[in-house]
Structure 1
């Protein structure tokens, strides 16, 4: 390990600057890892880079995440090829007859999927973009609503992957209530300010009563004027990957409708796989005819099985995803929606669709390992220690954790590293350790909600078919407001001595 002081910030700064200048997240991540390799390995930076790549691939957390991502990629492809998503969208549209109802339904679905933030963003994005597209809701707005909900709801509902992990951290530090860390976590929930405030903002955005800010304001105005729900700069290939055609294109017999309300159906065999729905001022060639009575159960049953198995297996998302995949395969082959050969083709294509996410996530884990060896956490903590007085401790912990999580893409790892430092510090300063722990958890949720190369943003952007930078840029103003209000909240409880 090397202590390079402020230079430990250089890889993170490089990633952010290159991403903004080039709008290419993968290239920015590669540049950041190269800078980190130079700092750690000097002239032997190439060997250093290879070593950290190997270390990240050997990380059990990354291996688990890759399995989840790959399996979910296969499941999403099966949903699309079988027409399950298209039917769910058609069914949901019976209850959604306005723009506001489409965004509110997206928010409510994100609340229901509180079990895990990965499960949340992948499911909401996959299922709801077809519905919101119909009402020209920008993809960035859908992404903002679901990301402002995913980690915050997971961190304040005690029966989620986040809550169980954080409860374990509290118990490991001897912080318990009624003899358990879970009891202490229950007491901390009212003080996880970022979670509550972000959820409130997400609800207000979904209901259309929160002011439109920054990039999202421009995207909404553009979507309303042109019907295009994709961010500026989206290429034809990226649109095609989402099943969308160029603006003003024609499909089959039908000209594209300017209001995005019509769908075009191309002549094709009835058992051909279905493409996505119409998108804004674009249209989509659906290879299968529209069903007079859509059957949403082909989508809802696998998702329900996923949630149920995840909960029943002590919140194991991997087992839940496997169960949903098996149920989907049985249902679609039994109904003759897909032949066995088509299932295997969908599996290969599903894995391929997630390659970008896998590579980006592997590079993100490299950055995390490099930050540990560069002692970035030690530098950040040492820089804030001079102002770490008791009344300021909760606010400073939240600020440090939020900035560190945003800069590094490390959330659970951050909590695992910071909690053993913060809890003894809080006890020494006569600060309520439960509130100090809540500040750590709030900071982790803030990072997950905003970090450009965090797994939450990467998976969410994949599910709605836009770039991570577009999604992060839209979210930042709203998450920034939630963070500022949370900071004020921790200052208040700190000075009140709660």
Structure 2
């Protein structure tokens, strides 16, 4: 199937079915599995089509990378808990006499600080702040929202991330853009126009301090947490295994907040940022591997038995299995959507509407629909950049103008919208994992805010289209 092939309206059915079932059944694994099965059957691949899809999708370098990343992150989190590092960090923060609002602001600032990886950020924020937010009766749904809204939206605004490299790489060869330097220059010029990402990050802070009032399911979740003391609703299924959440600190061993918490975090940040600067690619998985090894060595030197260290590491890996299963099925559904031409169909039925004044707004809208339907922002970038940016260059006579910046930003923002709030998105899954929130509860409470921000961004692009 080439770029112009698709299965028509049928091509959007698996993604739409997965999203619908996820909200109806509240079971993401079941919803994704059913969607994948229905999809392969609709493509006449027979009963063996489903296991074949899993085998071909999961036996890839990209899935192996995120699988290992998840396992090493689970190990680090387990080591944090076994050494009491998170409790020590919580106590250290508490000595600053923070209020309920300030505790949430800590999570907001931490998410913006860990900008280099949209995978690490939501897990790090959720895991380290969860003890504090639980104590101050902040709902897990709101913590997941804070962690999620400072991951992808921040990563796409910073020019020294993998996102910037990927997006700028897609621009090479379009119009007058001949090399990586020129492409990065266009990316930099597009940053101020990435309205959705800017507003997403800003809205979190405004919601925390109360300038933007809570509404919808989020308001209900916060009322439940404050009035009933329940950070999770009755019957909720947190997206973290009990093997990870039930780990208790090892008795009789004196641990250090610096050695057992800050040093491993510095190892992760140093390796990720350092490899990006030197090699042009942030080696996040390798950074967590190094941090887990360093923590294991430190724990042994502190007197924790070797067999206990290994048992803790295995418990950490088991604890992230719910997230890994969802990610595996989401990857499979994304591949199925690609095989069925989902994104191509969405673009084809809307491309005749595009005019210079409507181009940024329609680009944002189409990218948002594709990203939400497929749960992948980078896949959306790969589809939309080669389609929308060349159209923009035809309108500008191959000149780099504000219309080009706005179009690039609209693709980036639309992709982030889907990555930000789709139940199929790996980043949303990681935010639910870090916050130990029910995944569908996280999505249901976050979507109203994401939609409100997306609407404002769409209006802004419509208004800007007349003078770009």
- Output the TM-score relative to the length of structure 2: 0.92
1: CA distance between counterparts of 2:235 and 2:379? 34
Partner of 2:268: 306
Partner of 2:424: 453
Does the CA-based 8 Å contact 1:405-1:414 persist in structure 2?
Answer: yes
CA distances 1:298-333 after superposition (whole Å, capped 9, x unpaired): 211101110111000112211211221122112222
CA distances 1:133-159 after superposition (whole Å, capped 9, x unpaired): 110011111111121111111111111
| Structure 1 residue 222 corresponds to structure 2 residue 224 | yes
2:235 corresponds to which of 224, 233, 243: 233
Summarize the alignment of residues 122-137 of structure 1 with structure 2, pairs less than 5 Å apart.
122-137=123-138
1:392 corresponds to which of 329, 347, 358: 358
2:34 corresponds to which of 21, 31, 35: 31
Judged with a 3 Å threshold, the aligned counterparts in structure 2 of structure 1 residues 106 and 297 are, in CA distance, closer, same or farther, namely farther
| Structure 1 residue 167 corresponds to structure 2 residue 168 | yes
2:288 corresponds to which of 321, 326, 337: 321
Does the CA-based 8 Å contact 2:240-2:433 persist in structure 1?
Answer: no
1: CA distance between counterparts of 2:147 and 2:180? 34
Judged with a 3 Å threshold, the aligned counterparts in structure 2 of structure 1 residues 18 and 119 are, in CA distance, closer, same or farther, namely same
Is the partner of 2:156 in helix, strand or coil?
helix
Summarize the alignment of residues 121-270 of structure 1 with structure 2, pairs less than 5 Å apart.
121-173=122-174, 175=177, 179-234=181-236, 243=245
Does the CA-based 8 Å contact 1:140-1:471 persist in structure 2?
Answer: yes
Does the CA-based 8 Å contact 2:238-2:438 persist in structure 1?
Answer: no
Give the drift of 1:82. Answer: 1.4
Give the drift of 1:169. Answer: 1.5
2: CA distance between counterparts of 1:221 and 1:40? 46
Summarize the alignment of residues 276-355 of structure 1 with structure 2, pairs less than 5 Å apart.
288=251, 295-314=257-276, 315-336=282-303, 338-355=304-321
1: CA distance between counterparts of 2:252 and 2:431? 30
| Structure 1 residue 472 corresponds to structure 2 residue 443 | yes
Judged with a 3 Å threshold, the aligned counterparts in structure 2 of structure 1 residues 66 and 239 are, in CA distance, closer, same or farther, namely closer
Judged with a 3 Å threshold, the aligned counterparts in structure 2 of structure 1 residues 397 and 470 are, in CA distance, closer, same or farther, namely same
Structure 2 unaligned residues grouped into runs of 5+: 277-281
1: CA distance between counterparts of 2:89 and 2:199? 31
2: CA distance between counterparts of 1:299 and 1:378? 46
1: CA distance between counterparts of 2:300 and 2:101? 36
Partner of 2:408: 437
1: CA distance between counterparts of 2:47 and 2:378? 29
Partner of 1:263: none
2: CA distance between counterparts of 1:327 and 1:368? 35
- Deviation larger for 62-71 or 317-326: 317-326
Summarize the alignment of residues 412-431 of structure 1 with structure 2, pairs less than 5 Å apart.
412-430=378-396
Structure 1 unaligned residues grouped into runs of 5+: 245-272, 276-286
Does the CA-based 8 Å contact 1:88-1:294 persist in structure 2?
Answer: no
2: CA distance between counterparts of 1:339 and 1:242? 19
- Output the TM-score relative to the length of structure 1: 0.86
1:11 corresponds to which of 11, 14, 18: 14
Give the drift of 1:10. Answer: 1.0
**Alignment: residue pair count:** 454
2:324 corresponds to which of 358, 362, 365: 358
Give the drift of 1:210. Answer: 1.7
Does the CA-based 8 Å contact 1:242-1:465 persist in structure 2?
Answer: no
Give the drift of 1:75. Answer: 1.0
Does the CA-based 8 Å contact 1:215-1:473 persist in structure 2?
Answer: yes
1: CA distance between counterparts of 2:328 and 2:218? 29
Once superposed, which parts of structure 1, at least 4 consecutive aligned residues long, lie more than 4 Å away? 176-179, 235-244, 287-291
- Deviation larger for 234-243 or 459-468: 234-243
Is the partner of 1:180 in helix, strand or coil?
helix
2: CA distance between counterparts of 1:140 and 1:241? 21
Is the partner of 1:156 in helix, strand or coil?
coil
Give the drift of 1:12. Answer: 1.3
Give the drift of 1:274. Answer: 2.3
- Determine which structure has greater relative contact order: mean sequence separation of CA pairs < 8 Å that are 6+ residues apart, divided by chain length: 2
Is the partner of 1:488 in helix, strand or coil?
helix
Partner of 2:105: 104
2: CA distance between counterparts of 1:86 and 1:364? 33
Does the CA-based 8 Å contact 1:84-1:298 persist in structure 2?
Answer: yes
Partner of 2:279: none
1: CA distance between counterparts of 2:310 and 2:243? 20
Is the partner of 1:391 in helix, strand or coil?
coil
1: CA distance between counterparts of 2:156 and 2:97? 29
Give the drift of 1:295. Answer: 2.8
1: CA distance between counterparts of 2:364 and 2:330? 22
2: CA distance between counterparts of 1:303 and 1:237? 23
Does the CA-based 8 Å contact 1:397-1:436 persist in structure 2?
Answer: yes
RMSD: 2.2
Does the CA-based 8 Å contact 1:107-1:203 persist in structure 2?
Answer: yes
Give the drift of 1:417. Answer: 2.0
2: CA distance between counterparts of 1:413 and 1:344? 37
